[in-house]
Amino acid sequence: MYNVSTEIYEETASRLVRAARGEEFFSGSIVARDGEYDLRLTATVIVAYGKQADPNGQRIVEDMIPVWWEFHTYLGGEEVLNDFSFGDLRVCLR
């Protein structure tokens, strides 16, 4: 079983925020690599923004509400179980 680390949650959350690019809705995939593991989050989410903006004037993501998601992990092309939780990913957004 692949145990999703805090670092992977943080990296995935950061990539998801960048992929949303100011939109109210995101549907697509985020890919990453952790050592020998290939990781892929495929998700449809509603993006919620706070009232604050960053120094560049971009709205700051406050939360992402999952409509549907799958997180897959592969080792040598074979899928392995993982302990991914979208709730844990959402914590990294805050």
Domain ranges for the chain: 6-93
Inter-residue contact 46 to 25 (CB < 8 Å): yes
In single-letter form, the type of residue at position 35 comes to G
Q: Which tens digit of pLDDT belongs to each residue from 31-74? A: 999 999 999 999 999 999 988 888 887 888 999 999 999 999 99
Name the DSSP class of 57. Answer: S
How are beta strands 78-80 and 25-34 bridged, if at all? unpaired
Inter-residue contact 68 to 41 (CB < 8 Å): no
pTM metric for this prediction: 0.88
